[in-house]
Chain A
Amino acid sequence: MENSSMYIISVYSENQVGLLSSISNIFTRRGINIESLTVFPSEFPGIHHFTFRAITTERAAQQVVGFIEKKVEVVRAFCFPDNLTSAAEHGLIEEYLNKNRNQ
């Protein structure tokens, strides 16, 4: 068995009614408990940013991200282990999105 640890799953999406519920269902279906959740408008107009924290395996986290990205309104989803290195990576991702915001 793979080891479980805390993962951050970061989602950028259109702001649409019902999307939070259908994203959280993706965790529910796999029996993954959401430890914390924040949702707020991102710096990109009309795009919301969800941050989920959940204890799971790398493989399950990747799979959850794939299924979240399949949702039509989701622009991008990422996951990374919840530690300091990753926080730095997250900063790079935000920078990338900033650069590509007009595409």
Chain B
Amino acid sequence: MSEKTASNLQKRRIREHNPVLNTFTFIVLSISVLACVIPFLYIIAMSFSSPVAITNNRVSLWPVDFTVEAYKSIYEYPNFFRAYGYTFLYTFFGTLISLFMMVLFAYPLSKDWLKGQKIAMKLVIFSMFFSGGLIPNYLLINSLHLVGTVWSMLIPYAINQFNLIILINFFKGLPTEIEEAAVIDGLSYFGILVRIVLPLSGAALATVGLYTAVFFWNNWFAPLIYLKSSQYPVMMLLRNIVNGRTMIVDNGGMGEKSSLSISIKSAVIILSSLPIIMLYPFLQKYFVKGMTVGAVKG
């Protein structure tokens, strides 16, 4: 063991056994956790409380005048569950297609010796900074007759340049010796990708998959532009429910000036965010590893 390594280890031990430092770390992390959890608990409490209790400031972190009326109202809200179903569909198949396409694109681009690799990389990076804009995109998707079909949600978003670069860098970090051995054993490039590279890329795929799933889950603008209202995901409804009241139509009928209770808004927020939040614990072990995926070229 070198002198420098020994000194580093000693410093680390001091840090680990320093009660002041540990307490400080504990306090900072606890505050961070509470800052994230308390608003969520507050929203849950409001979704199960009566509107009168909420208005009169009687609700904190526990429901007051417990009621499930807000959830009942949502159950009766037209098309809420159909929209929910579409959200799952776009998220699941969108992520699947996206991962499939990005892996197929990233693997060859991770090979520096591939002819045209540098130009392809430049094109990828160029398109990351300069997009076509809304109207050209719409015209393209319309001329492909994808407007009004679920494919307009799945195909145009199949490749995200940022995630693609993460994957490329991860693939570049894999030892080339393994692939060389596989070639000697008679595996094709596709065989190497499926049998060697992908099984070693769990962390990268989980990270990129999670980013992609969150994107599809939250995406509301593309559905607005490309889909029929009967195909809208739940985020469109949520946005309409939460923001609807900010529109005041001067000449409108009385109905235009109505508002939804805060308990219903809270219930909608819970129902629409909970499923994607629940995904994190399952992917956490990959996600923590994957945070630095592609950051350093090995």
Tell me whether A and B are bound partners: no
Q: Which residues of chain B have a CB within 8 Å of any CB of chain A?
A: none
